[in-house]
Structure 1
């Protein structure tokens, strides 16, 4: 009994310990969930949430949601670049929603720049970004989504053909001569140059930025003159793995197809043209009536070739599945994507092979980041795709050129549709026999036969991008110093198979169309084969890229200093070289430096340089130096500005100046002279005929050439108002590009050169302005609105092109824009013979008749000839590009729309369909646009018509077919580019299914457009509509995150 108190004491101690243990266990069992947004009620993805008691760190998902283990009394810290950190004490509440306030209007946000990242407040260069959500459209190629969305970027959609429907893209217009110099921007993906903008699935893109001025692009040296597009792919993040699945299915049809004449229109118009040309009409009234009545579809064909060749609709579909997550030591992102689109070509189900036009692509992306130690980080990325494109052959061979453009067959089909009249022949004869025209000189198959009977081309391409990077912090040497090395290996392969045939063609014997048994009496027009031939072509290349450098980033009180010094080397190798020159690696080298200084978050200054080397130039001129500088003033951080902070939360001024470069095109080792013996010599007349004597030909390609230099200036203004909701960025720029690689215009023959050599001869000046206006998080009742608008304007001017000075100033191409078109100035139509007699002599253009186009005599010599030609149009690349869009959300619903427009674009139209009955020997091959109803006639002697007088034959029509202002048309337009409508699901029911968020949505692409130009889609790269049209898409989809 004496020990009983001791026993009780021990029991009490044990009970207290167990009670505390249970309490601690209960505390540690808390799971804190919540959502992180900004003051505009936008979800923040990737916010670091750290439990300071345990050290656990996780990241918020795409919806800004998180889940972390914590105990009562623990402290959670929320950190995100560009926002003030938030600290929350954990109580007994298991849901903590956090609103993060922007820090200095996000001037501390880290943005992507050339060869790295930089705080936005330090940035003095001109660059623009696009929201990655805007890239997720139902198209195969990223380039097709960019027009109007980024200030300074010009994009034109040239065709809607699956597999070939990427857009042409330029930054701040065109400042070079395209013949030997690409005007396209440099593409940099995950730090590696020369990759394909259209090779990536939009779901895998983390950011897309364009660099525009010298301060931003000089670090890319001789590749920076045309601007740079920077793309980063998604990386992993710390936290529980999340899965995402997205699928959409769309219906595709043409935005517009050319309206051609029907059978009656065509026959009557042709008769009219022949009579006006002094010929007998081709079609009798009886023939016309039999055709319209469908008396005999073989003898009197009446075919709408557009309806025969093309379907009303096709489809496309896209799917993407991705996984993302990681621990403190390793983070990963992986995805697989699929895209499939078929064209609108009809197919012949009776064929044993598939000649359908279809494009399929399989993408994959994998990025892994590993923290080997606290100071050593390793990153590995692998991306790529495999594409399979199938087209009707519509050609009889497969060559290097057709291998590079396997879609040429589809384009030839469309050309043939434009050329074939509705009454030329039926679609097919009985027995699947192919009709042809009743002329031995034109025994080509009809459009339907080209699309379905001539075989197919199958093109398989594969692209793999890989890069490995290791970064070592060197704080033990000096704080803020780091070194890194990156190696990349990219490989591309293309394998094309052509299965082709040219079946026999037939025509009805017009003198005896039917046999005694009632079958058609067909005459063989060309002997062909039903067997499929076989050819194949391969191409490919390899790129090895190395980059190594050091970075410095340190804060000294009010002083912020960053620096960069690196070396890069690129080796490009042809995988299928056919000669010694092409088998040699093409090597470029570069040294890059950057220094950036910021004082007191008010004054910023930066210097950049690149020192480039290329083997294409003579050793003494092989290297080029490209420097730049920029300064910035954050006016809003000045003390005297404090009273205005309520109105303007941020104002920043920028100025940059520098030189970037571009290299010439052409053959390898262009500075080497090639001597050809036994070349064709001069021809001499000896009295008994011409004789040609061989000699030696010298090709001096360009001995003393080097880099072209682009001198750029940029002045920028950025400001934020309306409590951080309205952001405006405006830039003015000027560029003077000198030493552009051009072939000399003329040299005397006695120099003995086989070809005119090249030199740094061209000069182009370009200037303009661009800007962005964005409004985020505006509240109107229970709805949230946002608006985004961009505008871009540029005007280029040729200063020198090495051409001789012209006799008359208006003939000069100097002082004009590079893409300008040239021809005669139309001055209405001749309305009487007296007008023809009293006008300047136009006989060099043929014999004029009443109703023909009258041209201005610009030099007043009384004769219309080439000395009366001048600039008549700007070309088809606009100098104004703009876009405007809005988004509105209400509870779970959202609606968005985006409009894109251009101004200043003009097209010279010509060719089949536009120039009526222009070829007398094969005029029956050329159809006519239905707008031919608007034409000059004796009953309608008006100047306000589309067509002048109709004529038949080349000599008759020559006056009306030359390039002139009559045929230059305004192709400006405004397009409803995209519409997005959807609903976001949320709630406990989803969580029970393991789904964090889900949405269903509708997307529309290229839904409507408004333009004065009515013949075909104004963006098409064609002068007569004979190109595969652009397409619109109606798509529905579903996305779920797990």
Structure 2
């Protein structure tokens, strides 16, 4: 290996106490293997500077000799070919020599010095003084990385005179003798982009080097540890923290399209609730937990904890996807694992301070449009007349008065959406980090302050504000104390404080209320009456709220709620090297604590509604109001509620990592952990009991010259969710890898193909998160509740009061177990283009679910009033197959010192299929069976089109779905039974699973970034495909005749004057026509989309950077009615936001 101008060519149930007798046999073998390895190691040589080495070089070039040393020892050489003649031939033999002695022999009688830094050896010509001038000056300076840490062994040379140069010392400092007072220096180091700087005598030069993308991920975070990237055989996706910087206070909004293998969608834009839903490699179960395990600094965390982390705090972010990566986590790793490691301190003379200030404006990506009052009344009248239902029509006078814009109290024409919601909101973010330390103690501290506000309109009538207002404070403090050269104590402390205030009504419900109120029945409010101390809100009698229909604005303004949440996560870790026993042995102990608490205060009041009962047609301001219902108290009533939970976790681990004879790398890990979770549920005895788990995990790896690699993992976990005998599960995995690019025969291709590795793995993973109920394997009996308890008699037709089974016992309930396969390839081209490609398959067995049928003779009392089984029984009754592929492309190109670019692309495809499902016998109508279809695929009637006229209705199979069917209504397809026979009746047997699932099967993203001198520019597209949207909750009028009308319905519906059988909406109906509102393909839409997710422009100048950033800027989709990423529904929830940020970043002492 060599450097040309210093550009690297190849960079590569109770107390949890267990007796020994309780340890399973396989674990005893594992422990025995560990200690045998330790014993054998005493007689072996070691990979260290003092290890005895043996080489024989006979008339070979220095270049070839160095490559031979690299191959046999694992060391990497870095040098400039202009410093010395690498083609010079030498003859040299070494036997029993250490590394320094070998190097001294090779470079005897030469002017070559070397610096050994770990496994890196930097070679440099000994001469430091140039002869280009007799007059000499000294330039002093320092070289540091992006985190402010010294870069040791960096090459500092005089540009154009490579014979004049030095290497930075242990503090990253240098002193270079130069022939002029002003010169240009070229600085380079392995793993970093080279830098050219202007230097002047007398001015201390501060150089900051940027890590090269080719080597950023040389060390990969895996389960319970790290591995060299070239030795990783599992499927692990690493992402740079900078790529997760998006204009949102929720970290997960940056996942979609950036993490290969991660399916992520953002369903809401509500502040504080706008994080993405995400799954690793799609969905493999239809019950219980689908989301991945999240580990932050070794501690299990929630998605909320993850969303609260600022990218500036993250050191590394890993996604573990296959069984090799996740089997170690046993019961928690079935759905994949995300591991976040926060930054640590670094030894530094001065504290490094980074500050980020942002101000953002957010607005709706798409705003729903409603018809105005005139159009509403015209369509309402048409709906009544076309069906002949006989309701009172809106009069011509009311329609004319509304069209003329007369007194809005008599002729209201309210756009409820505009009344309740503003077009945008302002938000602010501040982050400050401090990093530093000494050889004894280092520290990293971060403070983040986020302010998010909503788009609700405040009213000046009250002392409180009902708009969303959220303040979030996050404190991260990490300390590392080096107790000795071999002992280290670490403390990580994360504190999150969240202060929320908002309307007493659910924010998303307010958007739905806009649909439940038409524009013409009543105004927002009437003028104040000085004789009363309350607001006279508009209303209409006949509803369920105090004999009236709810006023959306009054609902929003009738009170507020405040919530204060605090989360504390702390972990204390002790690390001890045990090299005094044998080299490569170490131990680690971890204790972590997490506490979450929440206090909620709700203050709400009633409101009084009025309606006009008569008015003077000659003077519209002369009208009479009538109260709706009884007078309501407007005094705020207070209610308080508190909740919380606590988690304790301990972990003890022993590690071993050693290289024998320079090419045989062996590592092992054995771990014990236990976890206890307490929920604050004083009203529920069972829920208040602690939830406990414990487990063991182990890993053994072997690598020969990092060409041939093998890895064995296991997790052995216990969960209280299962009865004795099923409580513990064993989850092994095995993986192999073949690094073809390290083969000798491949050297001739190395100039083009810099990396080529094949990977394969198989393993089992478990899931014990199988439902919300505790002790699900036990029966649950109510002794007396006044309801019918059981049935008896020969025909089970006699009901008796008494004990009632709520749930039958089942001691056979056990783990969901997934069997996972993965095949992957890593390809690198010229150290510029890196491609990772994986195909995967999982069979999830024993999926937990409720039995759909229980025989009546069990005395279960049939079904309850909701038509659910009155008595429940659960079992491991389901099976799902999930398979697909994911790949990522990363390209980095540096054209010159002023211009470089990069490109990132990812693609994920995950398709699942139900293989087994407990359901009734659908032998006659297999189209109803869920088996063979995707988990989130919908069971729908097949809509062919709309009926042309009434005569066509009579000629087709009868549609027994409810409602009066006529021309313009939906025509459904009559499906045959298993024998191909048609019954000529449309009923529930004519449904089938069809279309795409409601969760995307394909997620992808791509985009470039550019840097030219001090300017940078980037954009990123993100898309989803193979996904369906089900439209529901959009039907106008309703039985009470008050529902609003969306504009797209008014634009294209079937009518006598528009007999389009493919119209967007069928014939209008004042009442909900069940034939038209059934879940069918008529309401199913293609939810695919492509978004310009992010765009950023920045300017860098010395110690600060200014940037503009936008998110959700453009959306391309066949679905036009709301942001398709929001998914199924009516689009009437808090819309996703288009966000514009302006920010500035400062760095001090960097």
| Kept after mapping to 2: 8 A contact 1:36/1:65 | no
**SS at structure 2 position matched to 1:448:** helix
User: How much has 1:824 moved relative to structure 2?
Assistant: 0.8
> Structure 2: how far apart are the matches of 1:747 and 1:443?
44
What residue in structure 1 maps to residue 512 of structure 2? 415
> Structure 2: how far apart are the matches of 1:517 and 1:117?
77
What residue in structure 1 maps to residue 1025 of structure 2? 903
| Kept after mapping to 2: 8 A contact 1:36/1:100 | no
| Kept after mapping to 1: 8 A contact 2:722/2:811 | yes
**SS at structure 1 position matched to 2:814:** coil
**SS at structure 2 position matched to 1:777:** strand
**SS at structure 1 position matched to 2:687:** helix
> Structure 1: how far apart are the matches of 2:902 and 2:341?
25
> Structure 2: how far apart are the matches of 1:905 and 1:381?
41
> Structure 2: how far apart are the matches of 1:729 and 1:413?
46
| Kept after mapping to 1: 8 A contact 2:1093/2:1113 | yes
User: How much has 1:833 moved relative to structure 2?
Assistant: 2.8
What's the C-alpha RMSD, in Å, of the aligned pairs?
3.0
> Structure 2: how far apart are the matches of 1:36 and 1:1014?
51
User: How much has 1:781 moved relative to structure 2?
Assistant: 9.8
2:467 maps to 1:356: yes
TM alignment of 1:345-744, pairs within 5 A:
345-394=456-505, 409-431=506-528, 432-439=535-542, 441=544, 443-452=548-557, 454-510=558-614, 518=622, 520-556=624-660, 557-663=662-768, 664-678=770-784, 680-681=787-788, 693-698=800-805, 699-721=807-829, 723-744=830-851
Choose the corresponding residue for 2:959, options 842, 861, 867: 842
> Structure 2: how far apart are the matches of 1:484 and 1:810?
56
| Kept after mapping to 2: 8 A contact 1:72/1:92 | no
| Kept after mapping to 1: 8 A contact 2:144/2:151 | no
User: How much has 1:284 moved relative to structure 2?
Assistant: 2.7
> Structure 2: how far apart are the matches of 1:133 and 1:1003?
13
**SS at structure 1 position matched to 2:330:** helix
User: How much has 1:566 moved relative to structure 2?
Assistant: 0.7
What residue in structure 2 maps to residue 331 of structure 1? 442
2:862 maps to 1:759: no
> Structure 2: how far apart are the matches of 1:693 and 1:514?
69
TM alignment of 1:109-124, pairs within 5 A:
109-124=218-233
2:1010 maps to 1:888: yes
| Kept after mapping to 1: 8 A contact 2:143/2:173 | no
| Kept after mapping to 2: 8 A contact 1:81/1:109 | no
**SS at structure 2 position matched to 1:750:** helix
Gaps of 5+ in 1: 1-28, 38-42, 53-63, 395-408, 987-996
User: How much has 1:36 moved relative to structure 2?
Assistant: 6.4
User: How much has 1:430 moved relative to structure 2?
Assistant: 1.0
Taking a change above 3 Å as real, the CA distance of residues 540 and 73 of structure 1, as seen in their structure-2 partners, is: same
Choose the corresponding residue for 1:933, options 1044, 1051, 1063: 1051
Taking a change above 3 Å as real, the CA distance of residues 953 and 685 of structure 1, as seen in their structure-2 partners, is: farther
**SS at structure 1 position matched to 2:284:** coil
Could you report, residue by residue, the CA deviation over 1:942-998 in whole angstroms, capped at 9, with x for unpaired residues? Answer: 2231011112213xx221111111110111111111111110002xxxxxxxxxx21
Gaps of 5+ in 2: 1-136, 156-167, 179-184, 529-534, 861-869, 977-981
User: How much has 1:35 moved relative to structure 2?
Assistant: 4.6
User: How much has 1:764 moved relative to structure 2?
Assistant: 0.3
2:1005 maps to 1:1005: no
Taking a change above 3 Å as real, the CA distance of residues 958 and 71 of structure 1, as seen in their structure-2 partners, is: closer
What residue in structure 2 maps to residue 23 of structure 1? none
Choose the corresponding residue for 2:946, options 829, 844, 858: 829
TM alignment of 1:226-305, pairs within 5 A:
226-239=335-348, 240-278=350-388, 279=390, 282-305=393-416
Choose the corresponding residue for 1:817, options 912, 930, 934: 934
| Kept after mapping to 1: 8 A contact 2:143/2:172 | no
> Structure 1: how far apart are the matches of 2:271 and 2:372?
29
| Kept after mapping to 2: 8 A contact 1:746/1:756 | no
What residue in structure 2 maps to residue 19 of structure 1? none
> Structure 2: how far apart are the matches of 1:822 and 1:329?
64
User: How much has 1:615 moved relative to structure 2?
Assistant: 1.4
| Kept after mapping to 1: 8 A contact 2:616/2:623 | no
> Structure 2: how far apart are the matches of 1:203 and 1:685?
67
2:332 maps to 1:223: yes
TM alignment of 1:911-950, pairs within 5 A:
911=1033, 914-917=1034-1037, 919-920=1038-1039, 922-950=1040-1068
**SS at structure 2 position matched to 1:693:** strand
Taking a change above 3 Å as real, the CA distance of residues 118 and 45 of structure 1, as seen in their structure-2 partners, is: farther
User: How much has 1:762 moved relative to structure 2?
Assistant: 0.9
Q: Say which is worse superposed, 695-704 or 350-359, in terms of deviation.
A: 695-704
**SS at structure 2 position matched to 1:924:** coil
What residue in structure 2 maps to residue 856 of structure 1? 973
**SS at structure 2 position matched to 1:271:** helix
Taking a change above 3 Å as real, the CA distance of residues 81 and 710 of structure 1, as seen in their structure-2 partners, is: farther
Taking a change above 3 Å as real, the CA distance of residues 595 and 925 of structure 1, as seen in their structure-2 partners, is: same
| Kept after mapping to 1: 8 A contact 2:368/2:1046 | no
**SS at structure 2 position matched to 1:621:** coil
> Structure 1: how far apart are the matches of 2:211 and 2:437?
27
> Structure 2: how far apart are the matches of 1:157 and 1:110?
31
Q: Say which is worse superposed, 748-757 or 567-576, in terms of deviation.
A: 748-757
> TM-score when scaled to structure 1?
0.87
Taking a change above 3 Å as real, the CA distance of residues 560 and 107 of structure 1, as seen in their structure-2 partners, is: farther
User: How much has 1:273 moved relative to structure 2?
Assistant: 1.0
TM alignment of 1:206-217, pairs within 5 A:
206-217=315-326
User: How much has 1:373 moved relative to structure 2?
Assistant: 0.3
User: How much has 1:930 moved relative to structure 2?
Assistant: 3.6
Q: Say which is worse superposed, 145-154 or 668-677, in terms of deviation.
A: 668-677
Taking a change above 3 Å as real, the CA distance of residues 98 and 538 of structure 1, as seen in their structure-2 partners, is: closer
What residue in structure 2 maps to residue 9 of structure 1? none
